[in-house]
């Protein structure tokens, strides 16, 4: 069967990667979490003290160091999903914490960062057979993708899901802090100048606020079957 590109965009914590991973596994496609790439650059910037006290980025210094940022993915057979590596070190846990979450938006708004990561993402999808999730996949990375999905859910529902996830892992979590972070990232992602988060005109929209994971996975599988029949 002819392979296609599947672009899944939407707001933070709305279930994009949950759906994308499940579909990729079922249809034998590669899954790429582009948020992990922006998070990895953020971790690199934190490790190199490239944030000013007011939270802005020392962009000139980061630009000089960008050639030293090497992001890759390796499939983890235990978890059944790819782990993210920054310069050869697995950073999967480090990039998911609140410190990176609360610094990632200004990094993702920097044009030279987006240019570098978008180029890498386009190389990864060059042979198709890929499910990629993020904010600008259907609009900028793969505007010609054969199947585009735009996922939404209320900010409160998304914050609750993240809170439940952190609690289940035994991590520290505060619902109000998570809600504030989700709302702030939504605002910055939709208002930045370069590739702001928006629904591509030809994307199918899914509000999964009141859906179970199984229901949304089945919905996506049906859309894939329709797109490839």
Ligand X SMILES: Nc1ncnc2c1ncn2[C@@H]1O[C@H](COP(=O)(O)OP(=O)(O)OP(=O)(O)O)[C@@H](O)[C@H]1O
Ligand Y SMILES: Nc1ccn([C@@H]2O[C@H](COP(=O)(O)O)[C@@H](O)[C@H]2O)c(=O)n1
Which residues of this protein are in contact with ligand Y, per CB under 6 A? 12, 34-35, 38-39, 104-105, 108, 134-136, 185, 189
By CB under 6 A, the residues from 164 to 183 that bind ligand X are 165
Among 4, 65, 194, 211, binds ligand X (CB under 6 A): 211
CB atoms within 10 A of CB 48: 14
Residue 16 annotated as binding site: yes
Q: Which residue is nearest to ligand X (CB)?
A: 15
Q: Which of ligand Y, ligand X, none sits in contact with 218, Cβ below 5 to 8 A by type?
A: none
Residue 11 annotated as binding site: yes
Residue 195 annotated as binding site: no
Q: Which of ligand X, ligand Y, none sits in contact with 125, Cβ below 5 to 8 A by type?
A: none
Rule CB under 6 A: is residue 212 a binding residue for ligand X? yes
Nearer to ligand X, 62 or 131 (CB): 131
CB atoms within 10 A of CB 47: 12
Binding map of ligand X across residues 101-130, x = CB under 6 A, - = no contact: ------------------------------
Q: Which of ligand X, ligand Y, none sits in contact with 211, Cβ below 5 to 8 A by type?
A: ligand X
Q: Which of ligand Y, ligand X, none sits in contact with 189, Cβ below 5 to 8 A by type?
A: ligand Y
Strands 30-33 and 89-90: unpaired
Do 200 and 138 contact (CB within 8 A), yes or no?
yes
CB of 102 to ligand Y, least distance (A): 10
Nearer to ligand Y, 21 or 135 (CB): 135
Among 5, 7, 9, 17, binds ligand X (CB under 6 A): 17
DSSP secondary structure string, the chain?
A: ----EEEEEESTTSSHHHHHHHHHHHHT-EEEEHHHHHHHHHHHHHHTT-B-TTS-B-HHHHHHHGGG--EEEEEETTTTEEEEEETTEE-TTGGGSHHHHTTHHHHHT-HHHHHHHHHHHHHHTTT--EEEEESSIIIII-TT-SEEEEEE--HHHHHHHHHHHHHHTT----HHHHHHHHHHHHHHHHH-SSS-----TTPEEEE-TT--HHHHHHHHHHHHHHHH-
Among 149, 161, 186, 197, binds ligand X (CB under 6 A): 161
CB of 200 to ligand X, least distance (A): 17
Binding residues for ATP, as ranges, are 10-18
């Amino acid at each position: 069967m002819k392979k296609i590109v599947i672009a899944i965009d939407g707001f933070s914590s709305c279930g994009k990667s949950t759906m994308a991973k499940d579909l990729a596994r079922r249809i034998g496609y590669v899954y790429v979490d582009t948020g992990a790439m922006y998070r990895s650059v953020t971790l690199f910037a934190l490790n190199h003290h490239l944030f000013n006290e007011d939270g802005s980025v020392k962009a000139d210094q980061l630009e000089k160091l960008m050639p030293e940022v090497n992001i890759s993915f390796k499939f983890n057979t235990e978890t059944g999903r790819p782990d993210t590596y920054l310069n050869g070190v697995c950073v999967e846990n480090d990039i998911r914490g609140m410190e990176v979450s609360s610094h990632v938006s200004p990094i993702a708004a920097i044009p030279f960062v987006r240019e570098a990561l978008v180029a890498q993402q386009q190389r990864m999808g060059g042979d198709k057979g890929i499910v990629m999730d993020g904010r600008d996949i259907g609009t900028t990375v793969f505007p010609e993708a054969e199947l585009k999905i735009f996922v939404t859910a209320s900010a409160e529902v998304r914050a609750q899901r993240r809170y439940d996830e952190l609690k289940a892992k035994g991590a520290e979590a505060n619902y109000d802090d998570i809600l504030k972070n989700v709302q702030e990232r939504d605002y910055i992602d939709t208002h930045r100048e370069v590739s702001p988060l928006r629904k591509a005109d030809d994307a199918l929209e899914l509000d999964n606020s009141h859906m179970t994971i199984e229901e949304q996975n089945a919905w996506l599988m049906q859309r894939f079957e329709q797109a490839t029949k």
